[in-house]
Chain A
Amino acid sequence: MKVEFTPEQAALRTELRAYFDKLMTPELQAESAETMGEGGGPLWMEALRQMGRDGWIGVGWDKELGGRGMSPIEQFIFVEEVMRAGYSFPFLTTEAVGPQLAAVGNAWQKKEIVPKILAGECLVGIGYSEAAAGTDLAALKTTAVKEGDEWVINGQKMWTSLVHFCDYVWLAVRTDPDAPKKHKGLSMFLVPTDDPGFSYTPVETLGGVRTNATYYDNIRLSEKHLVGELHGGWKLITGQLNSERLSLVNVGPTSQFFNAAVQWAQQTELPAGGKVIDQPWVQMNLAKIRAGVEALKLIVYKQAWAMTQGQLEMADASAAKVYGSEFFIEVYRLMGEIVGQASMINADSEHGQVLQARIERLYRTASIITFGGGANEIQRDIISAAGLWMPRASR
């Protein structure tokens, strides 16, 4: 047991930090602010391709797959740093879809799609949720029916984020309506977003994050668009969600945010004299955040390490997701308390300061991942069953 980074890992982090200092130009930062941290703008696209050309997106991937052959720990350090730098990294494509395609994809997917993903030239959105299938995802109704050599896809999805600038939708559909268990009748398809049968309408959310309702109208796809086994979609969904969970609770942005808040509190004068940070209750709030960040860091690092050992435990992935998502909410509250009512001043306003505006926005987005990415109730069910061997009621 040696919990610290190796010297090589520490050096990699230093290198990446310098790299992103340069990559995140003021212009790119301004564009990111406009897209509410979702990315998709031209500078954002170009930066992603740059990371691809520089061999970062697949740093922890095997060399045969086009990576640099380092381990999941190095991959994780990269993702932490890119997110820490404030770049809205398309981790669903690179960390969740990409590895699945590399593992179970057909020749076309492996030769055409995977290299493009590692080059930053292909983006994939996730199409699972439907209006009536949220937490109970296996109840989804969108269908794919085989007609001759082709699959014909029909249905509607809800909350299909990022697709307005993605190349494909990673679409979960029902292929066997007669399967005795509803999750056994699902399959996964890569649906091109330039297909004439595909369309979407935007959905705006509280945090300013845009997502979409998507429509699939007689989309005809050849067999090569099917991912993995027919009716084997559930395994891909749950596998994808496991990796998604780890990225959702990435610690990089929060570490950086904490440091920025400390510096702000150290420098900001109180009108009655002294600095904001001189107040004991401010120190207490910051200490609570600091202790919590450390736990999150260790939880996710341990999982990155477990991946190098091929022993990622389901209960641990769920624990990370629950802890991280609920901790973030707490962080934004504790931070908000420190700046008080000014934590509600919006970035668009003349007096909105960088730190305050960030708290203002994060506070509004924080609830998404307690129910998204697999609701925390389901994660707690998984923890008590897989981590503590407790029986659970059937659903």
Chain B
Amino acid sequence: MDFGFTEEQQEVQNLARKILTDQVTPERLAKYDEYQELRFDRSLWAQLAEAGLLGVAINEQYGGMGFGYTELALFIEETGRSIAPVPAISHLVSAALPIQKFGSEEQKECLLPAAVNGELLLTAALMEANNEDPAKPQLSRAVADGDGFILSGSKTCVPFAEQADRVLLSAATDKGVVVLLLDPRAQGVTLQPLKVSTYEPQYQVLLDNVVVAASDVLVNVEQGAAAMVWITERTIAALCAHQTGISDQSMRMTASYASERKQFGVPIATFQAVGHRAANCFIDVECLKLNTYQAISRLNSEIDATTEVMIAKIWAGDVGHRVSYASQHLHGGMGIDRDYPLWRYCLSARHNEMMLGSSASQLAALGQRIAAGEAFCS
């Protein structure tokens, strides 16, 4: 049992933190408010590619650094700490990683080196309306067409669908679930932009008899559902890592603000009620961080992590919510002033809280596992 970071892990953290703190300033983030510009900092993306970070968990033969999921998740935590305007989770975790795991040699050679150097953008469509389980697609159906498929249906809240070259998604067939790599520019695909509170580019994706070639089938019916579970668990753990970065940063921003801000002639931090609300955030962030690291560590070792991922997501929802409102409250009006950086953190925390299962829905799912005798304490 080891809660410390290896030298390589510290290098990834430091490298990411250095680039992101230099580049992601409140002024740059302000450019994306209200969708003035597309919330995707391509020059930052290029720098991250240059530093090797887009390939942190991609094998060296495809141009990556060859580290594992843990290092990737630590990088994601840093993108949360800075709320970096880059599609790190959708590109790296939900798409590139599964391609490396499940793809044919041809798919890997064709997609991974370009994904690592930033030339090619990947994303994943994990959400359907009122369905948060990507391993059980309800609104997307595929019919076999030779070795490929004809795809119809819809996905929602798909990040960067218009900018991406391939969209990983699941669809139901008569024989099981398939995982496909959709070309969003293919005939029959309609992209309808959504406006969301984080200003992330998101789309409603409508699919009308879209032809998906055999070369774009990532996982076929026999293994498709299991592959989607693999992808979903890693995406959820990455959201938790992102939430850890966000919550930690919001809390620290709040602690330093409260130490400077004076009322009644003293720093507001010296009021015990203020200090204690911040202390509650500290405990909360620790709980989130440790549960997230546990989920990450187990996923990295490819051992069963279903219960641990659920628990981490429950904490990510609760902690994100509590730290967000405690931070806003302890800042007073400044917390919601758009010239002060906190509010963007709060919105981003809400995104992570709601995506792929809120605390309530994860608790219900965990409750079912407990009832089935699958989640005893060790």
Q: Which residues of A contact B (CB under 8 A)?
A: 1-6, 9, 73, 255-256, 258-259, 262, 265-266, 277-278, 280, 282-284, 286-288, 290-291, 293-295, 297-299, 301-302, 305-306, 309, 315-316, 319, 322-323, 377, 379-381, 383-385, 387-393
Contacts and interface: CB of A to CB of B under 8 A. Distances in A.
A9 B283 CA distance: 27
Contacts of B256: 389
B70 to A, nearest CB: 6
B323 interface: no
B1 A387 contact: no
A384 B378 contact: no
Contact of A299 (B280, B286, B301): B286
A262 B373 contact: yes
A315 B280 CA distance: 12
A265 B370 CA distance: 10
5 contacts: A1-B4, A1-B293, A286-B371, A299-B287, A322-B283
B247 to A, nearest CB: 13
Contact of B2 (A2, A295, A379, A393): A2
A44 B74 CA distance: 48
A262 B370 contact: yes
Contact of A383 (B282, B294, B314): B282
Contacts of A306: 3
B69 to A, nearest CB: 11
Contact of A4 (B1, B9, B251): B1
A384 B290 contact: no
B311 A291 contact: yes
A73 B1 contact: yes
A302 B2 CA distance: 8
Contacts of B314: 287, 291
Contacts of A3: 1-3, 290, 293-294, 297-298
A379 B283 CA distance: 11
B110 interface: no
B267 A2 contact: no
B226 interface: no
Nearest to B260: A391
B378 A290 contact: no
B284 to A, nearest CB: 9
A291 B1 contact: no
A321 to B, nearest CB: 10
Contact of A291 (B5, B366, B373): B366
Nearest to B366: A287
B15 interface: no
A390 B275 contact: yes
A294 B3 contact: no
Given A1-B297, A3-B294, A298-B294, A293 B371 contact: no
Interface string B306-343: 01101100110000000000000000000000000000
Nearest to B254: A388
Nearest to A295: B287
Contacts of A390: 255, 258-259, 269, 275, 278
Nearest to B258: A390
Contacts of A258: 376-377
Interface in B250-284: 251-252, 255-256, 258-259, 266-267, 269-272, 275-276, 278-280, 282-283
A315 B307 CA distance: 28
A280 B364 contact: yes
A318 to B, nearest CB: 8
A309 B4 contact: yes
Contacts of B275: 380-381, 384-385, 390, 392
Nearest to A384: B275
